[in-house]
Structure 1
């Protein structure tokens, strides 16, 4: 089975999504050629009675322990930076990206998942209260120790990404090589706040695409690519940030292409993301097997030049 350019989002595993369902989705994903599993040390504090995260990583640890040999087939990506320090402390009182926070989070994530290294370690957000060289040096030390592999930056402004890269080069430590932000086929109106979970720089822009396209070793990951089911479900209305004529035209085109191919609109969106320039790795937070199957179908679907041109035509 060939690898698919699709990450499985484990955010709600162990909280909203129960263990049996989570295990089934993980098994399905791996059986279909899935490799990357994306989580965070803070998932999902807002759904936990404790007010703190860790449930997703703990569930992944139980799944890995009950599937001998599967660790060699999958790569684990987790994050640091947003775990609340006190109940109801998010977002003001969170762990941040200081040395002590990163050291503690790496140790905790490894213990929860029962693994000896994290394949891709994300700075979940930019912590401007901590000197960036402190953050980069801490990541570098863990990379040198073998506890983390690659480093990624999520919800960072591009100028800060480039500064982090320069600092890493100057310090002689591992440089970040991945960006994670929100992205989908529909695009919000410029400068509309509140549509990306209050992450000011949490949306892929043309500048992001250009940056990654010109950095061959870099990966671009997209969270919420299917807009929480809004492409398929009438009870999940599209956010008002997307209320503009371009959305109307894009939805019409998306529906036309999906009907022509005999697949869902979500499948087409995944295909559009995976097969674009640069290719984007969507993070799929499925809660049902059919949702994951549709996304996997999209990851394998070649839209061809004509359909992609139609989907990309000016608004």
Structure 2
């Protein structure tokens, strides 16, 4: 599988990152192992989880995602071949709580959370540790100093962020550079081929803006990863409706361009979306997920889809 440099860290990561959000909840352990094995066999080495996946599922606590992935790593004895990412900040602090009770990004919360993640994942270090949300109550200096201590201690190799506005990312990176601390090397944001309508919001999730895309294009030491790139199947499944945030004046034109390019390339719309992300400027690393191996195989097939300059032009400017 093709590799991309993660910011200007020493790490190269797989072109597709495997999202493990529902491991142990909606995805059984048996299926999780099948998905992880299939991804690994295809050359994938970049796994993504969090310390709160997936607490919102009935009966779940948030331990499940890391725990199942940790069991797979132990059973396959391949930890040294994996780029392992987890997140801190959005885990509820009380049983049955929601995002209103999240742990946040204080130094104490980060130091406590990393130990829980390391235990559940059965490892003594994380390759990438994300600030999962933007905690406006914790001073950025406190958050970033805590992350830097984890890097210095060898518990974390690099840090990233998720669900932050572009100006907050620049503010955080500036503080880190001023102090000589580890700086955010990447951001994981909601992003897909269809663009949200102006003013659309997604609760705690932040969609990648044009400002963020410009920022990533200008800063070679900062990478962009896209979660929910396939909009939960809305591009191809009749039983999955496109959520209202993506209903805009340009949606039909973009869907038309997507269908045309898919027909010309012999690829599925999902594969064209993933190929478009990889071949865009800046290049975007999709965080893919699947409920079964057939879906994963379709996603992995996008690695073999080549979009010409004309395809990219039509996808990017469907009204022209």
TM over 0.5: yes
| Residue 80 (structure 1) aligns with | 88
Q: How far does the alpha carbon of each residue in 1:64-111 deviate from its partner, in whole angstroms, 9 at most, with x for none? A: 11102x212211110000100113322211110011110111111111
Asked if 1 retains the 8 angstrom alpha-carbon contact of 2:87 and 2:131, the reply is yes
Aligned partner of 1:58 among 64, 67, 70: 67
Matches within 5 A, 1:1-315: 2-3=2-3, 4-50=14-60, 52-68=61-77, 70-193=78-201, 196=202, 198-199=203-204, 202-315=206-319
Q: How far does the alpha carbon of each residue in 1:4-47 deviate from its partner, in whole angstroms, 9 at most, with x for none? A: 41110000001110011000100110111112111100001011
Which range moved further: 125-134 or 239-248? 239-248
Aligned residues: 309
**Residues in 1 aligned to 2:172 and 2:248: alpha-carbon distance in whole angstroms:** 35
Asked if 1 retains the 8 angstrom alpha-carbon contact of 2:190 and 2:207, the reply is yes
Q: Any unmatched runs of 5+ in structure 2?
A: 4-13
Normalising by the residue count of structure 2, what TM-score does the alignment of the two structures yield?
Answer: 0.94
Which range moved further: 239-248 or 226-235? 239-248
| Residues 253 and 230 of structure 1: CA distance in aligned 2, closer, same or farther (over 3 Å) | same
**Residues in 1 aligned to 2:66 and 2:94: alpha-carbon distance in whole angstroms:** 19
**Residues in 1 aligned to 2:2 and 2:146: alpha-carbon distance in whole angstroms:** 35
Q: Any unmatched runs of 5+ in structure 1?
A: none
Q: Secondary structure at the match of 1:66?
A: helix
**Residues in 1 aligned to 2:158 and 2:200: alpha-carbon distance in whole angstroms:** 32
**Residues in 1 aligned to 2:303 and 2:89: alpha-carbon distance in whole angstroms:** 30
Alignment root-mean-square deviation, CA: 1.3
Q: Secondary structure at the match of 2:134?
A: coil
**Residues in 2 aligned to 1:289 and 1:259: alpha-carbon distance in whole angstroms:** 24
Q: Secondary structure at the match of 1:92?
A: helix
Moved over 3 A (4+): 1-4
| Residue 8 (structure 2) aligns with | none
Cα distance, 1:145 vs structure 2: 0.6
